[in-house]
Structure 1
Amino acid sequence: MVQRRFTTFFISSSFSIILIFTIHNIVWRNPHSIVGSFNKEADLNLQSVRRRLVHDVDCRRIIEGDDTEIFFAAELMKRKEFNFITDDELRELAQNCEMFFKIFDYNRFIVSQEELDFPIAFSLIVHKNAVQIERLLRAIYRPHNVYCIHIDRKADSSLHDAIAAVIKCLPNVFIASKLENVIYAGYSRLQADINCMYDLLHYSGVKWKYFINLPAQEYPLKTNAEIVKILKLLNGTCSIESKYHKVFHYRVTQSYWENPKTLKVERRYLRKSPPPHNMTVGKGSAYGAFSRRFVEFALNDERAQDLLKWTEDTYSPDETFWATLAINKHLGTPGIKYTASGVPDRRVWMTTNVAWGYRGNPGCFGQYVREVCVYGVGDLQRLVTEREFFANKFYHDFQPYALMCLEEWLFNKSATTLPFELYYYKKLINPTRYMIRVNLKKRLN
């Protein structure tokens, strides 16, 4: 152990150098083929060999829950200086797309015909840290999907420039046509998603099936292939968290406004009128997996637009707009699965894994920020077994091995053709059909 720690201190901590040295021995195919070379499974026979992206700790042992390795990583992170590349350095790297693809290994994934037949649209809502944004984009990127990035209009120019440089190398990634000055818990946050939805719905290059919105601090727990298989099981059903919470009534019974001087949402102490069309206001997550029909409904239905207008002076409308469309069965919102009692079925809420602090949840090995766990290395063993598509949230410069090890784990899963078991999701999404099959199997045996 002493020798191991001694050796570790002499390892370069430059992120860009680590990436270069971990990929220099890969046979690099033509980087210009990134858009078109994955259309045939015959071209996808990559070597299914596990590669280590992180060398100074053993990520496999950390993810397996090895306490000794987790402790070693925690001690190392206290002493090691991580020199992450800056937004400007990322912009410079992206000036040469061939080098950019090679350094960040955008070719390290397998795309099946099933994925090609089921494209997904993503939006990324970002306001800082181009390096972390690029890492998320790289994890979810596939040439047949489409990606809209909304950059906070008031963000540093270095962020805007870095993202603009990166997307020049990726033809199916674009910046939203209209950018908002996003204020936390304000209507501008919801409007940013709406802007990307409009752009993606009118994007002619990809006829996507589902839309998934993400903040930059999320990271996938499932590969694109796994997400596609689960979404196909959902068969048009949305994964939208929606419930009724009286405790949150203050958000929609009083009027709020975005103060451009303080950059905060502030109460006006004016009582709001009831929501339109006899709606009950729901509470849920700002993030979800939305069917194309749901997106069309949200953007085009007159009642949905009336609701959207009504939420403009509420608190955190991104957590009520989608949920309200879902909870009101009389609206006929497409893609919502209801229980026998007429409420949205929580069994299909599987988009984002969040550990909330105010629920008395002790299961956070990182730190709580605004009552949300920023995950650390001790959280990985649990996260890789969760049902959700994504985990929120990570900071690339907080317990860096947490995100680095999750990246290595997903990186290797994306480069293999290992089967993905769907029995858990089949039982979850359609329990009645599952029990019929179980009983049939018993009769046959």
Structure 2
Amino acid sequence: MGMYACFERPPTMNRKRKLMKSLLKLVFLIVVVVFFNHMKAENESIERHDASVSILKTKKVLKNNIRVLIGRNLNPMPKLLVNEVNCQGIIEGDEWHISYASKIQNRVGFKFLTDREMGKLAKNCDVFLKTFEYNRFTVSQEELDFPIAYSLIVYKDAVQIEMLLRAIYRPHNAYCIHVDKSSNPNILDAMKAIANCLPNVFIASKLEDVIYEGYSRLQADINCMTDLLHYADVKWKYVINLPAQEYPLKTNAEIVKILKILNGTCSIESIYDEVLHKRTNEIYFVNPWSLKVQGTGLHKRPPPYSVVVGKGSAYGAFSRKFVDFAVNDMKAREILKWTEDTFSPDETFWATLAMNKHLGTPGIKYTASGMPDQRVWISTSITWDFSKPKPKCHGRYVRNVCVFGLGDLHRLVSEKKLFANKFHYAYQPFTLMCMEEWIFNKSVTYSYTDLDYYRDLMND
């Protein structure tokens, strides 16, 4: 007994100990309640922050079938996207990570959805939107106030089309998809199904049988731009036209900031080169057997309004005023008609409208010599096989254009251009996957590029 008795505490001490325990529990509960109330208030404050779209504002922008989707995912900091390889190391140019990723992608058999499977998946919008996480974005008030329209000219690979669309998609923008009439029917079915799930995405009202280097390629863009001008749901500021093989180098927020600096100025490549005059001095036609554009040897009449024919890219960033001019102005329409039997008119029409100051084309910045200012050609980065100086292509050349590989990412992410052409989802697959990770993580962390470069472009 004595041994146990030595461990017994007096009754008074036991009461004091119980009282102390009760006080400690009470203090702990008070601390917990205060902490959670503070966290709740902080979260409510974050949700009210301008960096994310409020449910009320989202409901004003979106149709009913997407309101719930966006409304429940207004997390100010969505979970970052992470791939199986170290994309950050690859983008930083680390040779070990590039080599490691190359070995993995050469050993692993990547399986991508077929066009048919993509269409079948998108038939169920809930499954499609959840599978591809169309809720993983935040939108600032600045972006809401500056909607952008996109014209996508597509032919194949529903997987890659969807990857591009998801990268540029925001619920307040507008997206016209032109599907080549000669493409596999599964592509059109997939695009229609996807458009049905996203209320601000639609298929062009008129589809063309697009022939490479033929007029139909330009007409496809004109069709989408005409539809976008009539699209009343979104009062967009610019149209950017893209092929499926391009991918953004800037987030939507960055593109908005850059286009606001341009302030209505277009980014249209336009040069004068006598060597290329054969494209428009001769009459061309589409050979019905080969489906290729070829010359007739017949001399073509000069263009209307004494215009100098320019040469440039088929792709650009076009202000709303420019698009309205290109589609509806009488002079522009006559020039467009004149290009129908020329070679690759998509590379001359926009450039010619920009080249000739006397046409009164809106949105063109000219130098003192009266030529379009080359500094504002910031739409697309492309690595040609014949470029001088020629950047190294770590992928492969197709039709003289570099299809980017893993080793190209370090250079691309430092580019000042808005988009890069071209990628292919099945060639060195981690290349496009790492670009997807990089652009998404930049968008959710609101990481911005230095805007001084673009401000300098607009200084005379």
TM range, normalised to the smaller chain? 0.7 to 0.9
Match of 2:81 in 1: 51
Give 2:339's aligned amino acid. T
Match of 1:83 in 2: 111
Cα distance in 2 for residues equivalent to 1:315 and 1:274? 14
Q: How far apart are 1:75 and its partner, in Å?
A: 2.3
- Superposition pairs of residues 129-140 of structure 1, within 5 angstroms: 129-140=157-168
Cα distance in 1 for residues equivalent to 2:170 and 2:358? 38
Give 2:321's aligned amino acid. R
> 1:412 aligned to 441, 445, 452, which one?
441
- Superposition pairs of residues 83-102 of structure 1, within 5 angstroms: 83-102=111-130
Cα distance in 2 for residues equivalent to 1:164 and 1:202? 20
Cα distance in 1 for residues equivalent to 2:63 and 2:174? 18
Is the 8 Å Cα contact of residues 110 and 417 (structure 1) preserved in structure 2? Answer: no
Match of 1:190 in 2: 218
Match of 2:451 in 1: 422
Match of 1:127 in 2: 155
Cα distance in 2 for residues equivalent to 1:163 and 1:265? 28
User: Aligned pair 1:388/2:402, yes or no?
Assistant: no
Match of 2:5 in 1: none
Q: Which moved further from structure 2: 305-314 or 91-100?
A: 91-100
User: Aligned pair 1:284/2:315, yes or no?
Assistant: no
Question: Larger Rg: 1 or 2?
Answer: 2
Q: How far apart are 1:254 and its partner, in Å?
A: 0.7
Match of 2:356 in 1: 328
- Sequence identity of aligned pairs in percent? 62
Q: How far apart are 1:256 and its partner, in Å?
A: 0.5
Match of 1:7 in 2: none
Give 2:407's aligned amino acid. G
Match of 1:14 in 2: none
User: Aligned pair 1:263/2:291, yes or no?
Assistant: yes
Q: How far apart are 1:72 and its partner, in Å?
A: 1.5
Match of 2:403 in 1: 374
Cα distance in 2 for residues equivalent to 1:103 and 1:375? 27
Cα distance in 2 for residues equivalent to 1:38 and 1:252? 50
Give 1:264's aligned amino acid. K
Cα distance in 2 for residues equivalent to 1:409 and 1:221? 9
* Secondary structure class of the residue paired with 2:209: coil
Q: How far apart are 1:268 and its partner, in Å?
A: 1.1
- Superposition pairs of residues 31-430 of structure 1, within 5 angstroms: 35-36=66-67, 44-47=74-77, 49-52=79-82, 54-55=83-84, 57-360=85-388, 361-430=390-459
Cα distance in 1 for residues equivalent to 2:81 and 2:239? 31
Q: Which runs of 5+ in 1 are unaligned?
A: 1-28, 433-445
* Secondary structure class of the residue paired with 1:295: helix
Is the 8 Å Cα contact of residues 78 and 136 (structure 2) preserved in structure 1? Answer: no
Q: Which moved further from structure 2: 377-386 or 354-363?
A: 354-363
Q: Which runs of 5+ in 2 are unaligned?
A: 1-54
Q: Which moved further from structure 2: 196-205 or 76-85?
A: 76-85
Q: How far apart are 1:342 and its partner, in Å?
A: 0.7
TM-score computed with the length of structure 2 as normaliser? 0.84
Q: How far apart are 1:417 and its partner, in Å?
A: 2.7
Is the 8 Å Cα contact of residues 69 and 135 (structure 2) preserved in structure 1? Answer: no
Cα distance in 1 for residues equivalent to 2:448 and 2:304? 47
Cα distance in 2 for residues equivalent to 1:118 and 1:39? 19
TM-score computed with the length of structure 1 as normaliser? 0.86
Match of 2:44 in 1: none
